[in-house]
Structure 1
Amino acid sequence: MIDKVTGAGALPFPVQLKALLDQEARYQPKLSGLRVIESAQDNGLRMTVKLRDFQVRELLSLTRFFGFSGDTFSLAVNLLDRFLAVVKIQPKHLSCVGLCCFYIAVKTSEEERTIPLASDLIRISQNRFTVHDMMRMEKIVLEKLYWKVKAPTALHFLRFFHSHIQEMDAESKSILNIERLEAQLKACHCSFIFTKIKPSLLALSLLALEIEDQYECEPVPALKEALDGLQERLSVKAGDLVCMRELVAKCLAEYATTKCLKPNGQRLRWMISGRTARQLKHSYYKIAHLPTIPESAY
């Protein structure tokens, strides 16, 4: 993934930040395509916001099931949103597109020994397409994204900013909980509204909301100073940050459960026999290939 070096031989923070911001602009979903999805009617014929959010939640479930990292999930969401913003797909192809984006992210972020077979991914996710369909779709996704896979995600910025704040104020190590922040980011990924927001701004908003919610009664000057410094470096207006913070707060309120706050506290494990695995989708081996997928762009 995107390498960010900290410690004694690291490049200065402003240099690393500029490099990330330069990349960020090139890996954002196309706004015109996102608006088409946003305006689509839920008639089963067009890609919609509801379908997109459902698919992202499916990817989150797969991430938890396999015990994959947050990097994998965030990258999979980035790939999915970028593809949906440039190619008009029919709802019946969405699960194949989503699983392909997930598989690309897995192969990019995870250790080789932990990468599952495509056939196992299809069977566990109980999808109705073949490995051949998935490989064909994967090629389409990569071509439409010009093979630009290693995108700087909101998770990269969140960890980068969090590390920077810790370097500025040692006490913040026991104050800002990165696991909690990452869990909140996963909830935001499941909401379409954040597809149009720059990853750096989303990360900053999560930090701002956390600092405000947790330490309003007992303000920590060093945290406020560090946050103001990040806001200035990102050239974010105070009003824009307030609006984003409110959007994040509204999203998190809908996911205010123990499961959301601690999504990785107890990893889901399915212990199944080979026979059971084969019967998950008894018709899987008889499924015909998906019809040709139109590649019309917005």
Structure 2
Amino acid sequence: MKDLGAEHLAGREGVQLLGLLNLYLEREQRFQPREKGLSLMEATPENDNTLCPRLRNAKVEDLRSLTNFFGSCTETFVLAVNILDRFLALMKVKPKHLSCIGVCCFLLAARIVEEECNIPSTHDVIRISQCKCTASDIKRMEKIISEKLHYELEATTALNFLHLYHTIVLYHTSERKEILNLDKLEAQLKACNCRLVFSKAKPSVLALCLLNLEAETLKSVELLEILLLVKKHSKINDTEFFYWRELVSKCLAEYSSPECCKPDLKKLVWIVSRRTAQNLHNSYYSVPELPTIPEGGCFDESESEDSCEDMSCGEESLSSSPPSDQECTFFFNFKVAQTLCFPS
């Protein structure tokens, strides 16, 4: 089979698509979570002091809920997960810090992706997420995350490849343009993001697997041939491709099963106590601030950066007692509103 090149991508737009694909392929490795750190997390047993895969996956599901609540786009969610995984693969994180870290990853991603008018305030995100930390804690943690990732937060993700592959396919195909549903493909990618194992996959491979499986479902020979050209141009070997394709297929099959806990798309619900409701006004912006966590309770970053680092800090830091009824007027009911296991 011929290579994917100027002969197949004729015209200015085709050349631009090919150039963008080459750029993404060149950049993707830089933004991969460190495999050693991911493997250590996968092998970690569940206990009160260690971060295990279940806690990581639950935090990604929380990120999905935050992006859904604030109306953020899929790119914000995928980038937040990338920042989270890269940081967790580099640092030894205690479970009590994970909530603050998740909020920071969401805010960092939102500031990169969203229009300024759509970026939620730090105080709003703190109240909605119930992360039990202050704006000062968030600011300090954002600085730690940014420094550890060398301020390279705008990553090349599987979503970038998914959109580009989709555009390339539509550029080539003679079939109906609506045959590949991008919203469905994005939802499938979110389902994969909710599982730690897929953080090890190259973004280019993960995106190609999703499109390949969809083309097979549609029984489109033309789409499969185009994707085969993309695979060859991206230098994705068969062993790697079929390994991840099998895992993605299994994940999507479980997602489609009746046993899977899918979001029911119910309207998000505010839960307030009777006493709070009596004093409730039109806005919650007048709610008193939560007690400030002492600045002295910072992270210990003395560990070697050549291995996973230990983010240990004082017991007071990022673990203040639950807010009183008046201190936190609104409580977001995650049991009703979270889209935890998989996105829609």
TM-score for the superposition, normalised by structure 1: 0.87
Deviation at residue 253 of structure 1 after TM alignment: 2.4
Report the counterpart of residue 280 of structure 2 in structure 1: 275
1:251 paired residue number = 251
Match of 2:142 among 138, 141, 145: 138
Contact between 1:209 and 1:249, CA under 8 Å: does it hold in 2?
A: yes
Residue 57 (1) aligns with residue 61 (2): yes
Q: Give, in whole Å, the separation in 2 of the partners of 1:11 and 1:146.
A: 32
* Shift in CA distance, 284/245, structure 1 to aligned 2, threshold 3 Å: farther
* Residue in structure 2 matched with residue 227 of structure 1 by the alignment: 227
Q: How far off its partner does 1:33 sit?
A: 1.1
Moved more, 14-23 or 117-126: 14-23
**Aligned residue pairs, count:** 284
CA drift at 1:285 = 1.4
Q: 2:215 aligns with which of 189, 199, 211?
A: 211
Local SS of the residue matching 1:25: helix
Residue number among 103, 106, 113 corresponding to 1:109 in the alignment = 113
Q: How does 1:51-200 map to 2 (within 5 A)?
A: 51-200=55-204
Between 1:187-196 and 1:221-230, the stretch displaced more is 221-230
Residues in 2 aligned to 1:288 and 1:148: alpha-carbon distance in whole angstroms: 28
Distance in 2, matches of 1:269 and 1:52, equals 23
Task: Identify which of 274, 284, 292 aligns with 2:298.
Answer: 292
Runs of 5+ unmatched residues, structure 2: 1-10, 272-276, 309-344
1:55 Cα deviation (Å)?
0.3
Distance 1:172 1:87, change over 3 A: farther
Normalized per residue, which structure has more helix?
1
In the aligned structure 1, how far is the partner of 2:75 from the partner of 2:47? 33
Partner Cα separation in structure 2 for residue 64 and residue 269 of structure 1: 9
Equivalent of residue 47 in structure 2, options 43, 47, 64: 43
1:128, 1:284 within 8 Å by CA — same for their partners in 2?
no
Stretch deviating more after TM superposition (135-144 or 163-172): 163-172
Q: Provide closer, same or farther for how the CA distance between residues 284 and 125 of structure 1 changes in structure 2, counting only shifts above 3 A.
A: farther
Whole-angstrom distance in 2 between the partners of 1:172 and 1:193: 34
Question: How many angstroms apart in 2 are the aligned matches of 1:226 and 1:10?
Answer: 14
In structure 2, the residue corresponding to 1:285 is in which secondary structure?
Answer: coil
- In structure 1, stretches of 5+ residues that fail to align are 1-6
Instruction: Tell me, yes or no, if the aligned pair for 2:137 and 2:293 is still in contact at 8 Å.
Output: no
Give the distance between the partners of 1:182 and 1:230, measured in 2 at CA.
Answer: 19
Q: Provide the C-alpha distance between the structure 2 equivalents of 1:230 and 1:220, rounded to a whole number of angstroms.
A: 16
| Contact 2:192-2:251 at 8 Å conserved across structures | yes
What is the CA distance between 1:75 and its match in structure 2? 0.4
Call closer, same or farther: CA 1:251–1:283 in 2, change over 3 Å: farther
> 1:10: how far off?
6.6
Counterpart of 1:236?
236
Shift of 1:270: 4.7
Counterpart CA distance in 1 for 2:255 and 2:289 is 34
Pairwise CA RMSD: 2.8
CA distance in 2, matches of 1:15, 1:235: 15
